[in-house]
Structure 1
């Protein structure tokens, strides 16, 4: 079914799956001794379409060795298929990145993106976007976000969350075709410090 209620129900099921995976892997407990883990992105906003979970971890000094120490045991758990790493402390992202691929079912693999960032990270930070986006969303805009995301998924195309939220909340986008048109005329390369209501 393609109704607002059906879209919201699907999002709730996906969010519940995401939390089941987080519990199985114990990721918050693994990161807490090293810093402050924060759930961000679509799972935090209850707008899950793609099988993705995003976390940020904050501490004074991210450590490659300590990060691997937290995740090596996790990588040995049943269902974990891959562990990837990128060191970007001296790049625009200014952090350490790990990604876990977790096979929830034989037909459904989730990826968990984890950025370990310093407390004094200059931004933009996904953690700072959750509260203002949540506050700005109403029933109609929440449904529009899900409609755009599901439209992208149905076509096998990527639609990064922050650009979907901006297009819906600040530019009136309501369908995936409208999003594609907006995206085609909007610079979306690199990081963005966008917040709801901050046009441009």
Structure 2
């Protein structure tokens, strides 16, 4: 099984988890929820799901009340909340861990104000879906898997940028690329072609 097929199976698992927990429906009760990151792009390597929700009135306690109900599900192992509103992230973070057999899925959920500016995965989803090809998707997945084997951790946004804007096509070239490019988060990558729109 190649990296594309592995990612496809993980995407199916992610969608099943979202349906079972009705997370998108819960978040849509308070704002506009978007599936972002690797799940949105069919680029899942590690078992992670990312959501961003935007609303007028920030009320973390309201969504925590909804999410706390999920602790009654025997497969939900953990639920945490962090207030990052005074940091560069400028948002509220919720983490849920869900077990599928022996695999622990981490669900990262951010709550932002509608007026928030800066690094938002939501903004690059249309670009990624339109730009990715089977070839570039496989290159990205192969780099992600190679980095995992090497136990080297980089935010996926830098892999996307390196492959799609700089033509990087393997893990060694990516590691060389990181020497001369910013790989610190939070980082707001706006693909060059987005400036033309």
After TM superposition, the score normalised by the length of structure 1 is 0.91
* Candidates 46, 69, 73, aligned match of 1:73: 69
State the distance in 1 between where 2:74 and 2:16 align: 14
Shift of 1:7: 1.7
CA contact (8 A) 2:37 2:121 kept: yes
State the distance in 2 between where 1:76 and 1:96 align: 23
CA contact (8 A) 2:50 2:108 kept: yes
Shift of 1:159: 2.8
Shift of 1:125: 1.0
State the distance in 2 between where 1:121 and 1:70 align: 23
2:138 corresponds to 1:143: yes
CA contact (8 A) 2:77 2:98 kept: yes
2:154 corresponds to 1:152: no
CA contact (8 A) 2:95 2:106 kept: yes
Q: Give secondary structure in 1 for the equivalent of 2:83.
A: strand
RMSD (CA atoms): 1.6
State the distance in 1 between where 2:151 and 2:80 align: 23
2:134 corresponds to 1:113: no
1:167 corresponds to? 162
After TM superposition, the score normalised by the length of structure 2 is 0.92
CA contact (8 A) 1:147 1:174 kept: no
1:194 corresponds to? 189
State the distance in 1 between where 2:158 and 2:124 align: 12
Moved more, 161-170 or 129-138: 129-138
Shift of 1:99: 0.4
For residues 64-97 of structure 1, what are the alpha-carbon distances to aligned partners after superposition, in whole Å with 9 as ceiling and x for unaligned?
Answer: 2112112110122111111111101122111110
CA contact (8 A) 1:62 1:95 kept: no
1:11 corresponds to? 7
State the distance in 1 between where 2:135 and 2:191 align: 15
CA contact (8 A) 1:136 1:196 kept: no
State the distance in 2 between where 1:179 and 1:16 align: 28
2:20 corresponds to? 24
Moved more, 161-170 or 69-78: 69-78
Question: Closer, same or farther in 2 for the Cα pair 1:144/1:10, shift >3 Å?
Answer: same
State the distance in 2 between where 1:101 and 1:81 align: 5
CA contact (8 A) 1:133 1:195 kept: no
Q: State the aligned residue count.
A: 194
2:49 corresponds to 1:53: yes
Provide structure 2 residue ranges, at least 5 long, that are not aligned to the other structure: none
Shift of 1:139: 2.4
